[in-house]
Structure 1
Amino acid sequence: MKWAGWGSVVFIFYFVVVNFSVLEQVDFQLGFNQWLNTILLVGITEEIVFRGFILRKLMDSFRFWVANAITALLFVSIHFPIWFYKDMFGFPYVLGSILNVFVMGIIFGFVYKKSNSLWSVIILHSLYNLLVTVFY
């Protein structure tokens, strides 16, 4: 849980500094569906699939960093339908989104390896989704 705690501090600090000092855009009006789907269920289900299953299986055949990169690329690929659905697939936006999701996938895999706990990654992922929902 140490990794979840430190990662949470970093995420919160980043979002608060960037959004209050640069963007000044915050929306605390979250509906039940956003809480349940985006924040709770997505973090749990995506981490069980990607870090709990895919990354663990790939580490049987590859070194950690190769397995983590493959998992992060697969993690990016599941976000494409969301970007299409929300009409966020424009050229400049999608490159930033791809890079962001890939980096988050790498970070989540690293935290999973260091903590050896799926719960720490689930907490980080859910917190990240909460911060994205509130600040964007």
Structure 2
Amino acid sequence: MIELNRNRKTTKQELIYVGAYFLFLLVFWSISRLILSPALEKTLPNTSLSYALCEAILKGVIWIVPVYVILKLQKLNPISFLKLNSNIMKGISFGLLLGIAFLVINIVKTKNFNIHITYSDFINTFLVVGIIEEIAFRGYIMQKFKLYVGFIGSNIITSLMFAMIHIPISINNHNIDPLYFVQVGILSLIFGYFFEETDSLICPIVIHSLWDLSMILTQIS
């Protein structure tokens, strides 16, 4: 009975951490997208390197620092828990295979190729976003939910949360399209599936980054 109560207490604490993190993320990411980014654009050209670096640092502080702090408080090794050092070659191989397939399909489908890439496109959309978002959602949130609801349940819950976190981005871009959120949710399920299959966060990071690169190159919003 004592062990059962201890396990329930641990489960409750874990879910509180995850819920608090997502609430923090939703609030401060909304502030960042809807208030701070527009203010930054009035100070720096949104095509400049300075703007891109400020955006990258801001997102890293909001998304990654809390995950690192939570895992350290739980006496977990962030790199190992997030599976950033697990099955690296397998993760890269599967990630490149599917990511390049997405890239080619989107270019062929749109018959468009954009060569005018800004610093923000390259640094934030291609290099940084995949790493930061996968650490937060697949590496942390999905793995924590998986402990209690299994892979399928955790992938679905994480994908719904992943779609929700894109609401501030959609509002900022003046593009509230339900199909956009459906696409984001489906992509999240794919990222989650290959994370589970490869047991490596490198895989969804590579797929995510190459998908975003295809959005830049084909100018798909």
Look up the match of 1:85: 172
- 2:114–2:218 contact (8 Å) kept in structure 1: yes
Residue 9 of structure 1 aligns with which residue? 97
Other-structure match for 1:38: 125
Using a 3 Å threshold, how does the CA distance of structure 1 residues 14 and 59 change in structure 2: closer, same or farther?
closer
Tell me, yes or no, if the aligned pair for 1:55 and 1:71 is still in contact at 8 Å.
Answer: yes
TM-score relative to the length of structure 1: 0.86
Is 1:120 the counterpart of 2:203 in the alignment? Answer: yes
Query: In structure 1, how many angstroms separate the alpha carbons of the residues matched to 2:141 and 2:182?
Result: 20
Distance 1:9 1:96 in 2: 26
What's the RMSD between the two structures over aligned residues? 1.7
Q: Runs of 5+ in structure 2 lacking a partner?
A: 1-88
Moved beyond 4 Å, runs of 4+: none
8 Å Cα contact 1:75-1:105 kept in structure 2: yes
Q: Distance in 2 between matches of 1:18 and 1:131?
A: 6
Residue 113 of structure 2, aligned match among 26, 29, 47: 26
Task: After TM superposition, give the deviation of residue 29 of structure 1 in Å.
Answer: 1.6
Q: Select the structure of larger CA radius of gyration.
A: 2
Aligned 1:53-132 pairs, distance under 5 A: 53-89=140-176, 94-132=177-215
Q: Could you tell me how far apart the structure 1 residues matched to 2:208 and 2:121 are?
A: 14
Query: Which one scores higher on RCO, CA 8 angstroms, separation ≥ 6?
Result: 1
Find the aligned partners of 1:127 and 1:18 in 2 and give their Cα distance.
11
* TM-score calculated relative to the size of structure 2: 0.55
In the alignment, structure 1 segments of 5+ residues that lack a partner are: none
